[in-house]
Amino acid sequence: MPSSTTPFSASTSAALERQALDKQVADRIPGVAAAVARDGVLRWWTGVGSADLAEPDRSPDADTQFEVASNTKTFVAATIMRLRDEGRLSLDDTVDRHVPGAGHSGATIRQLLSHTSGMQREPVGDVWDTLEFPDVEGLVSGWNEAERVLPPRVRWHYSNLCYAMLGRVIAELDGGDWFASVRRRFLEPLGMRRTTLGLSGRRAVGYFVPPWTDVPVVEPSIAPSAMSPAGGICSTLIDMATWHGFLAAPDAEILSPDSVEEMVQPQTMADPAGWTQAYGLGLQLIRRDDRTWVGHTGGHPGFITGFFTDRDTATTGLFMANQSATTNPGGLATALGSYAVEHEPVLPSPWRPGTEVPEELRPLLGRWFSEGQPFVFSVREGRLEARVDLPSVTEPSRFELVSPDVYRTVAGRERGELLRIRRDADGRVTAFNWATYLFTREPYAFGEWLRARD
Q: Computed from CA positions of residues 143, 149, 155, 159, in that sequence, does the dihedral angle turn out positive or negative?
A: negative
Q: What is the CATH number of the domain that holds 363?
A: 2.40.128.50
According to the model, what pLDDT value does residue 378 have?
95
Per-residue pLDDT of 230-253, as tens digits, reads 999 999 999 999 999 999 999 999
* Residue ranges in the chain modelled with pLDDT below 70: 1-4, 390-393, 453-454
Domain finish residue from 277, 311, 343: 343
According to the model, what pLDDT value does residue 391 have?
66
Q: What is the CATH number of the domain that holds 37?
A: 3.40.710.10
According to the model, what pLDDT value does residue 392 have?
62
Residue 282, domain extent: 10-343
- Domain annotation covers residue 436: yes
Q: In terms of domains, do 191 and 234 share one?
A: yes
- Domain annotation covers residue 264: yes
Element (H, E) at 22: helix 10-26
Q: E strands of 280-405, at which residues? A: 284-288, 291-300, 303-310, 315-321, 366-370, 373-380, 383-388, 397-403
Question: Which whole-number Å values give the CA distances from 8 to 12, 34, 330, in the listed order?
Answer: 6, 14, 22
Task: Work out the number of other CB atoms within 10 angstroms of the CB of residue 42.
Answer: 19
- Domain annotation covers residue 349: no
| Contact between 316 and 242 (Cβ < 8 Å) | no
- Domain annotation covers residue 115: yes
Q: In terms of domains, do 136 and 243 share one?
A: yes
Q: In terms of domains, do 44 and 152 share one?
A: yes
Q: In terms of domains, do 317 and 290 share one?
A: yes
Domain finish residue from 343, 371, 394: 343
Q: In terms of domains, do 337 and 250 share one?
A: yes
> How many domains is the chain built from?
2
Q: In terms of domains, do 191 and 314 share one?
A: yes
Q: Is the pTM of this model over 0.75?
A: yes
- Domain annotation covers residue 350: no
- Domain annotation covers residue 33: yes
